[in-house]
Amino acid sequence: MELSIFQITWFILWGFLWGVYFMLDGFVLGLGFMSRFLAKNDTEKRVLINTVGPVWDGNEVWLVTAGGATFAAFPTTYALMFSNLYTALLLLLFALIVRGVSFEFRGKIDGAPWRAGWDTAITISSFLPALLFGVAFGNIFEGIPMRNDFTTATFAYEGGLLSLLNPYGLLTGVLFVMLFAVHGSLYAAIKTTGELSDRAAAMASRLWLPLLVVAVAFLAYTYPATKLYDNYLNSAALLAIPLIAVGSLLMLKVSASTGRLHRAFTFSCLTIAFVCFTGVAGLFPNLIPSSIDAGSNLTIYNSSSSLYTLRIMTVVALIFVPIVIAYKIWVYRIFRSRITNEDVLGDSEAY
């Protein structure tokens, strides 16, 4: 009984960490690939990059923490995830590396070809993670073709990279891209001034309807493609999670239409977080279901660490997660001011 309590606790924390990561890095990724459409000149591109300059690398803490929590709490799931999705995760890692390098190197040489090349790198290395995260989670929601023999700790993965590019996985990838595009545009709108801010706000409003269409298609296709709805049909209380996601998406549009951009961005944060929570709650108790053999599902029960490990991790999490949250709140408060053209033109340390 005690072990199952800790397993459930870490499943909840696992979902929370992924939701927070997508909420925070989502606007950085979205702004990265939307900057090509929002900025009209080099100065505006610098302004957009400097809006995320103080925070983008700190947001990666949540990705590392989510991965670390998977490794420590559910090591079998971590091992098989990196085996089954190795190529996709490697592409994701390379893209995140290139994005960070692009931010830092873009302004090192004052030349149009140099900066144009790094602008292209920023666009691609921001778009790919958004798409790949969605494809990866779409495949997890749908189930991965694998067979496991837990007695001998062996498994057979009956798929490949191209099998991950199935219709449901790609649809989930498009959903993530659209969520992050709106999220990044709203962030640009609240962090810049003048025409750039107006342009970003208008872009977010134009993208909302395509996002709604994709979201409806995702919800409709989820029923035949996955078993995520089973938990919601068995427990009406869980319906609050997707309802918050839907309500937040609708309120995002209402707030943006009335010029309340900060409120719209808040609802965008809630939409992304609760879309993630919706998928995670639908998976429970699975972490990676098998699409060909229900007996091979990786669950919180057959892939978790020992009770002692989970106890130690819980103590560590209770101490450090609040510290990280407090630190991130402090950072965003310190850098809450809008970025202007004068800020980047007059600061040699700016990106």
Token pair listed for 82: 């990196």
Reported as a pLDDT band with limits 50, 70 and 90, residue 155 is: low
Whole-number pLDDT of residue 225: 92
Residue 276 CA, chain-centre distance (Å), reads 8
> 294-325 pLDDT, tens per residue?
788 889 998 888 888 999 999 998 998 899 89
* Nearest-angstrom CA–CA distance, 120 and 124: 6
> 89-130 pLDDT, tens per residue?
888 899 999 999 999 898 888 888 899 999 999 999 999 999
Reported as a pLDDT band with limits 50, 70 and 90, residue 22 is: very high
Is the separation of the CB atoms in 50 and 348 below 8 Å? no
Is the separation of the CB atoms in 162 and 150 below 8 Å? no
Nearest to 189 by CA among 338, 59, 342, 22: 338
Question: What contacts 66, CB < 8 A, 6 or more positions away?
Answer: 14, 17, 18, 21
pLDDT greater than 70 at residue 3: no
Is the separation of the CB atoms in 4 and 301 below 8 Å? yes
Is the separation of the CB atoms in 94 and 124 below 8 Å? no
Q: What is the DSSP letter of 299?
A: E
* Nearest-angstrom CA–CA distance, 314 and 2: 13
* Nearest-angstrom CA–CA distance, 8 and 344: 47
State if pTM tops 0.85: yes
Whole-number pLDDT of residue 294: 79
Which is more confident, 255 or 347?
Answer: 255
Whole-number pLDDT of residue 350: 66
Is the separation of the CB atoms in 153 and 118 below 8 Å? no
Strand (E) positions, the chain? Answer: 146-149, 154-157, 286-288, 298-299
Token pair listed for 40: 């009209």
Which is more confident, 227 or 151?
Answer: 227
> 38-52 pLDDT, tens per residue?
999 999 999 999 999
DSSP states of 125-172 as a string?
A: HHHHHHHHHHHHHHHHHH-B-EEEETTTTEEEE---HHHHS-HHHHHH
Domain ranges of the chain: 2-345
Q: What residue type is 74 in one-letter code?
A: F
Identify the weakest region by mean pLDDT among 65-69, 106-110, 193-197, 300-304.
Answer: 106-110
Reported as a pLDDT band with limits 50, 70 and 90, residue 215 is: very high
Reported as a pLDDT band with limits 50, 70 and 90, residue 343 is: confident
Query: What does pLDDT average to over the chain?
Result: 90
Q: What residue type is 152 in one-letter code?
A: T
Nearest to 335 by CA among 313, 350, 320: 350
* Nearest-angstrom CA–CA distance, 70 and 90: 17
pLDDT greater than 60 at residue 291: yes
- Provide the pairing of β-strand 298-299 with 146-149: unpaired
Whole-number pLDDT of residue 149: 66
Whole-number pLDDT of residue 150: 61
56-73 and 86-105 helices cross at what angle (nearest 10)? 160
